[in-house]
A = this chain, B = another copy of it.
């Protein structure tokens, strides 16, 4: 008798993808645990055979969690041993019941704004730099890297500290999503073509690769720079044209934002993602990135400012200003998102229904008029019918409008909500460091640090402060660019919308006879 398993969560099979739909509590027979990619071939009581995600099943002895599944995997994958890139092939091919709570937390847009896309074994210790990472004195006393090429220069510009921007801004285009297969055609996924403007040579990436990049960037820069989270995973409908188009648009927005960032875009891991030439280079680069130790708050040791030192109180003051600004903007953005969503609902719900009813009322009245058989009212009845149809068309235009204008306004504001959600943690790291500095005299008298170490710590805090200011300045200039652009897009579409309705009504009006 085959090994039995209990279904832990409902799972709906993607049609044409060799999957098996199962219901929570159902018992299935395990046919093959070696198909890989986190899938198990199972058979239900009706005899149907198909793939079910491992973590949806509790097999025999009580295993079945992600971590358990990996440990028990016959090929024995471990974090950092991901040498064939197969351990998480199904990231974009299934939903993980246990992660639903996380998804919800992300939607709430909490302070971290980060999502946990992979199994927990992949999460670096530095992922939560302040709460779980090294204490402030560790990174305040860390030595700068030996190789000066790794340093991150900060210059004093008109607006204060600024990053060094590349002469040619990096950019990339995501296009041509293709459905590809693995596991001898058993599993399907979408592959996107990503072409950077520097090499103009396309590389292919799946969603899980973007997610890997996100994790690396978050790990390395998350204490200093806002790294916005990726668009959410999705289970059902992930091969539908609209979903693929929407996700590609969101991935493009994310990549564009990362490309625009002078620190992120010049980092080894980001460059690897965009310019690797073959599988070998990709895998070697991945390994190197995953072994990078200058991550989390340690990243501040790379900052190399061309500016005067700053005192702890000044740093704290700046933190306060930035904190207040990002909080206010977060409120403003959420307000706009809120009214935008409400307006979207009205524009796709009651409002077009009302225009449709007006249109129908005109057309009904026209039909009644025609039924009178009174001669010589064709001009009126035709015009009244046309007016009715015009309002029905307006209903349609109103329904489709949010997709044309509100969509971009809300997407941009969602991006900013995402970015702004990263700041509380970034600012907390800086505040903690500044607090530690104010504590140095006590540490010296307690013999925990010496005067030289105090000097180093103060220098490091100053570097951090310049980094934060450079980042705020980067944020501001991007913000000005983005809001200028999105407001123009929005208003252009709004003008077109109202103009189109005015023109349509003018046409309807012209059909009535002038008396």
Contacts and interface: CB of A to CB of B under 8 A. Distances in A.
Interface of A: 158-159, 324-325, 328-329, 331-333, 335-336, 339-340, 342-343, 346, 350-351, 354, 357-358, 360-362, 364-365, 368-369, 371-372, 374-377, 379-380, 383-384, 387, 473, 476-477, 479-481, 483-485, 487-488, 491-492, 494-495, 498-499, 501-502, 505-506, 508-509, 512-515
B498 A512 contact: no
A515 to B, nearest CB: 6
B350 A346 contact: yes
A494 B505 contact: yes
A487 B512 contact: yes
Most-contacted residue by chain B among A159, A358, A473, A492 (CB, 10 A): A358
Q: Can you list the 10 inter-chain pairs with the closest CB atoms, starting with the nearest?
A: A498-B502, A491-B509, A374-B476, A336-B361, A499-B502, A339-B357, A332-B365, A328-B368, A498-B501, A332-B368
A483 B384 contact: yes
A413 to B, nearest CB: 9
A365 B325 CA distance: 11
A336 B351 contact: no
A501 B500 CA distance: 11
A505 B494 CA distance: 7
A383 B473 CA distance: 21
A347 to B, nearest CB: 9
A508 B491 contact: yes
Contacts of A328: 368, 371
7 contacts: A335-B364, A346-B351, A351-B351, A383-B484, A487-B512, A494-B505, A498-B498
A515 B484 contact: yes
A492 B383 CA distance: 14
Contacts of A346: 350-351, 354
A158 to B, nearest CB: 7
Contacts of A499: 498-499, 502
Given A384-B483, A498-B502, A339 B361 contact: yes
A502 B491 CA distance: 9
A158 B335 CA distance: 65
A94 B336 CA distance: 51
Contacts of A377: 476, 480
Given A346-B351, A351-B346, A377-B480, A333 B365 contact: yes
Contacts of A495: 502, 505-506, 509
A365 B336 contact: yes
A369 B479 contact: yes
A341 to B, nearest CB: 11
A473 B498 CA distance: 40
Contacts of A364: 332, 335
Nearest to A330: B368
A459 to B, nearest CB: 27
Contacts of A514: 488
Contacts of A360: 335
B501 A159 contact: no
Given A332-B368, A484-B513, A495-B506, 13 more contacts: A332-B364, A339-B354, A340-B361, A342-B354, A342-B357, A346-B351, A369-B479, A372-B476, A374-B480, A379-B484, A387-B491, A488-B512, A502-B502
A328 B371 CA distance: 9
A39 B475 CA distance: 77
B487 A498 contact: no
A40 B343 CA distance: 57
Contacts of A485: 515
A374 B479 CA distance: 11
Contacts of A383: 484, 487
